[in-house]
Structure 1
Amino acid sequence: MNSRGMLVWRILAILGWLGLVAVIGTVQIWRQHGGGPRTLAAQESRAAWPTGEYFLEGSPDSISNPEVASALAQAKSLSRAFRYAAQQVLPTVVKIRTVTLPGRLGSDRLPGFPFGDMLPPENPFSPRSQPSPGLGSGVIIHPEGIVLTNRHVVEDSQEVIVQLYDGREYRAADVRSDDQTDLAVLRIVPESPLPAARLGDSDQLEIGDWVIAIGHPFELEQTVSAGIISAKGRTLSAVQRARFLQTDAAINPGNSGGPLVNLEGEVVGINTAIFSRTGGNQGIGFAIPINLAKWVVPHLIEFGRVPRSYIGIELVALTPSEAKRAGVEQGVLVGRVFPGSPAEKAGIRREDIIVSYDGRPIRDPADLQELVERSPADTEHQIEVLRDGRKIALAVVVKPMPEDFGPRTLGGFYQNRDWGMLATDMTPQAARRLGVKINQGVLVIHVDPGRPAAAAGLREGMIIVEVGGKAVSNTAEFREAIRSFSLAEGIPITVESRDGRKQLVVRLNQ
């Protein structure tokens, strides 16, 4: 073999050796990374469960960032406050089950307001042919078995069962309610004293304060939700003598009558209503301030009703432009003075602007209504009015409110719950605002969606001028006129608006 052949063989030998080394190295790497043939036992050995601690744990001490540690400490402190408040009140919260008499329309249970807790979904306005079950909440306010709740929870009930925190059940021995505030008290007879909630001062609440709502939403027992006070002094058409607390604490059907509680564990409100387009919580709930309940409940217990005083005037809220023209920042306009009323005897006149009552400023009709109604009957009070640019002091002696006077005058409202409508007497002032020439009739100021009035085509701002072809000049005549008709068969009415006159028929099941 010549030298050239030897060189070729050497090169081939070197290449072969390098290739063998590469193959061996690849196999070794493959095996090290889990490749290659292995027995099932070997695979099972590698898949064995680890031993020892299975969860990672830490403690606040391990947080090195001081700002994060401080924030966590504050959050835990707030959590403890919520826990304390809930623990104080939970033993006093009760579930209320009712059976409602058949044949009732349940007209007070407006859709979404107050809670239509257990209404038949197919038609909440048709007469019930069978006893209807209902569910709500309440809170014990006296160890001897006095329970505070909403009127609409127990209204028209044939039977009311109260279930305590520990599961014991009692049948309500007595039920007393006030339809003007939607509050009710129940009396049960326990074998021994019960835990009772402490009542706070709702006037001390401020927007942004933390609160918790407790109740039995959707039959989920003892549910606690948290939120803040979103607003104060809200008015709702279906409850005329209450200015509500608004909260974003989750409130749902079944919460009606349950307590709204501050962080001190004191009841500051009674959960009553929600604003909802779906029937569930949308972050807008309303509670009756507990200070109103403190005034109502003793009357219900002592008299079985709530006596109120009146002065006999119809009030109209001042618009900002009207207040500016009159030279006042706030007040209410007297739209009418009823003949023979305390107001007439005191010298109050139509078009007067009432600016104070016993030295207290009057911002809106609800302010004056509340002060007058809570004044003891036959007591004298000072009213300051603005008349022709001059302030005049008058003395008025309040009198017991007549049974048929009610909401349509002092507060300026007439409510027909069967129709789902809130109205007032038409006045020249209202005519000017609406741009119409009619000074008499029944002015519609609110219509509840889905109710007979809305279904018939009634809208806010319309004026009802006839019922069945007979003219009506005010709410009293209207109320008398509709008694001759059946809502089930239909009530023909004539309405006026800026669009002209039209005929409507209001009936159930439209």
Structure 2
Amino acid sequence: MKKTASLFLVALFAGVITLGSYKLFFENNTITYSSKEETPFLKTNSNINFAKAAALNDIDFTIAAEKTVNAVVHVKNMTTSKSNPISGFFYGFESNQQPQIGSGSGVIISADGYIVTNNHVIDKSQRLEVALNNNRTYEAEIIGADANSDIALLKINVEEPLPYLAFGDSDGTRIGEWVLAVGNPFNLTSTVTAGIVSAKARSISNRTNQSFIQTDAAVNPGNSGGALVNTNGELIGINTAITSQTGSYVGYSFAVPSNIANKVVSDLLEFGRVQKGILGISAVNLNSRFAQEEGLNEIEGVYVAGVEEESGADAAGLEEGDIIKQVDNVKVSKFSELTGYLSAKRPGDQVEVAIERGGKRITKEVTLKKQLSVQLPIMGLTVKELSKKDEKIYNTKNGVKITNVPERYADYGLRDKVIVKVDDNEIDNIEDAKSSFSKISRYGRTSMTLLSKDGERERLIFQ
């Protein structure tokens, strides 16, 4: 009994010691630590943050959306797949032709039914159908298209005036400005997404000099040809492209600026094709070894690598080595900004070009001229219109002069020769050359009749 009582007292005493130790060393330390430690956050001015939040909440997209959704249409490109001739050979019948429907968007730009969209939306169409936001459908006619700018103009015949959007001034658009993208992604009609202008004069291909507005408003397949508008509901771009490994939106998209689209539409209506006002200079590829070795990739402006003979730049006195800093009132820091601004100009327009030469700033008045050179499809030859000097040297007023040759044709001695005939087609100018070369089959034979500086005429056959 005594032994049991002793064990109980020992256990009780040990418990008291343990509880007291915990209170003394652990619980008191925790309270002390918490009370002395400073809060690890910086203090902020709550009034400023609330003011900013209120400003963002004050942005109203509803008016712009209401203006836009009824002016954006659903464009359906209807084609028919070709029948399979092999089935006819083996089985005695041809497989049925399967209808195929491509889907995109378009923007009504006049009350009488003119619609602007992308060229790739209507390309190779056999029939075009346009559905309005009220679900009424019309068959559309192609008025004209330009593959370089990826802009096409359609027309539908309507009985009553349609809601439409007027072109805004894309040059006045600012980086960080709120915009809405309206279109028909994945056949979901009248879809509105919001974002900001992420960049301007963005080039997305080394093969073209296109200049895009970049935005983070969500754009997906089916949005092509739809409207990019500002918060006032002004049309500042035609949604055109996304860059994505998945084929869907990954955070940014691209639109043709409205000033370029407006000029293309006007040219298609008035002339049937785009009239390009060319400055007449060539620029250095800033990613090339030469540009990096010479430090040209660090220049803010456009380095003039060459001046085209008899061009507007040549007549105004621009020289190789000049750095273009500004055109009219638009500052220029890269080539895509220069080409983007000039894309809205026509031959005969005058621009004021500010250049840096030898550390001095000089201003030149340049009259833009029509395009004098072009890279031909299929073969990739670069040709130019004949100058007065060329006409005397080659003793001809017709033809185009080859100025650059791809490596695969380097051994044919084509450079500086004049093409006067392709197959049975006479070549008078670069437009003739473009048309004839676009019809060449990659798998057929093509003949070219050429003139040399010696006046010799030769005929080459390419296969």
TM-score (norm 1): 0.57
Question: Aligned partners of 1:178 and 1:485: how far apart in 2?
Answer: 20
Amino acid across the alignment from 2:196: I
Aligned-partner Cα distance in 2 for 1:389–1:75: 45
Distance 1:255 1:336, change over 3 A: same
3-state SS, counterpart of residue 77 of structure 2: strand
Q: Which residue of 2 aligns with 1:309?
A: 277
Give me the TM-score of the superposition, normalised by structure 2.
0.62
1:102–1:488 Cα change, 3 Å? farther
Distance between the aligned counterparts of 1:321 and 1:200, measured in 2? 38
Match for 2:109: what amino acid? I
Mark the CA change 1:189 to 1:488 in structure 2 (over 3 Å): closer, same or farther.
Answer: same
The answer to whether residue 216 in structure 2 is matched with residue 248 in structure 1 is: yes
SS in 1 for 2:189: coil
**Structure 2 counterpart of 1:91, which letter?**
N
Q: 1:337 aligns with which of 307, 312, 325?
A: 307
Task: Find the partner of 2:408 among 448, 459, 466.
Answer: 466
Which residue of the other structure, out of 90, 97, 108, is the alignment partner of 2:69? Answer: 90
2:333 match = 363
Do the aligned partners of 1:93 and 1:164 also contact (CA within 8 Å) in 2?
yes
Conserved 8 A contact 2:201-2:337: no
Pair 346,198 (structure 1): closer, same or farther in 2 beyond 3 Å: closer
Shift of 1:154: 1.0
Which whole-Å CA distance do the structure 2 matches of 1:75 and 1:466 have between them? 57
2:190 equivalent in structure 1: 222
Q: Deviations over 1:92-132 (max 9, x none)?
A: 111001124767xxxxxxxxxxxxxxxxxxxxxxxxx8664
Shift in Å at residue 368 of structure 1? 3.5
* Matching residue within 191, 205, 211 for 1:237: 205
Aligned-residue offset at 1:268:
2.3
Match for residue 276 of structure 1? 244
- State the AA in 2 paired with 1:466: R
C-alpha deviation, 1:67, in angstroms: 12
Aligned residues: CA RMSD? 4.4
Instruction: Select the structure of larger CA radius of gyration.
Output: 1
1:339 positional shift: 3.6
Change (3 A) 1:374 1:90: closer
From the superposition, tell whether residues 136 and 311 of structure 1 become closer, same or farther in structure 2 (CA, over 3 Å).
same
Residue 220 (structure 1) shift? 1.6
Contact 2:213–2:256 (CA under 8 A) maintained in structure 1: yes
- 1:18-29 to 2 correspondence within 5 Å? none
Q: CA deviation at 1:302?
A: 2.1
Contact 2:108 2:165 in 1 (8 A): yes
The structural deviation recorded for 1:142 is 1.1
Report how far residue 76 of structure 1 moved: 6.1
Match of 1:398 in 2: 368
Q: Quick one: distance in 1 between partners of 2:110 and 2:263?
A: 15
CA pair 222-488 structure 1, distance change in 2 beyond 3 A: farther
Q: Is the 8 A contact 2:129 2:139 kept in 1?
A: yes
Q: Distance in 1 between matches of 2:255 and 2:370?
A: 28
For the Cα contact (< 8 Å) 1:180–1:241, is it kept in 2? Answer: no
Deviation of residue 346 (structure 1)?
A: 4.0
Q: What is the rounded CA distance, in whole Å, between the counterparts of 1:341 and 1:312 in structure 2?
A: 5
Q: Aligned to 1:296, what secondary structure does the other structure show?
A: helix
Q: What is the 5 A alignment of 1:342-353?
A: 342-353=312-323
Match of 1:171 in 2: 139
Give the deviation of 1:373 after TM superposition: 5.1
Q: What pairs up with 1:139-154 in 2 under 5 angstroms?
A: 139-154=107-122
Residues 376 and 211 from structure 1, CA distance in 2 versus in 1: closer, same or farther, beyond 3 angstroms? closer
**Contact 2:226/2:238 (<8 A) preserved:** yes
Distance change (3 Å), C-alpha of 1:94 and 1:359: closer
Residue 215 of structure 1, CA deviation: 1.3
How far, CA to CA, are the matches of 1:468 and 1:483 in structure 2? 21
Q: Where does structure 1 lack aligned partners over 5 or more consecutive residues?
A: 1-64, 104-128, 409-413, 426-439, 443-463, 491-510
Shift of 1:160: 1.0
- Distance (whole Å) between structure 1 residues aligned to residue 229 and residue 279 of structure 2: 36
Alignment of 1:110-129 (within 5 A): none
2:256 is matched with 288
The answer as to whether partners of 1:198 and 1:265 remain within 8 angstroms in 2 is: no
Alignment match, 1:499 = none
How far apart are the structure 2 equivalents of 1:484 and 1:201?
38
SS at match of 1:193: coil
Distance 2:74 2:361 in 1: 53
Q: Rate the CA distance shift 1:233–1:355 in 2: closer, same or farther, 3 A.
A: closer
Distance 1:162 1:249, change over 3 A: same
Deviation at 1:204, TM superposition (A): 3.5
- How many residues align structurally? 351
Distance 2:51 2:317 in 1: 64
Q: What code does the residue aligned with 2:308 have?
A: F
Counterpart in the other structure of 1:56: none
2:87 is matched with none
For 1:447, the equivalent position in structure 2 comes to: none
Kept after mapping to 1: 8 A contact 2:260/2:343: no
Q: CA deviation at 1:181?
A: 1.2
CA distance in 2, matches of 1:325, 1:85: 43
- Pair 1:219–1:238, CA change in 2 (3 A): farther
1:317 touches 1:365 (CA, 8 Å); kept in 2?
A: no
Distance 2:282 2:104 in 1: 36
The 8 Å contact of residues 332 and 365 in structure 1, kept in 2 or not, is answered as: yes
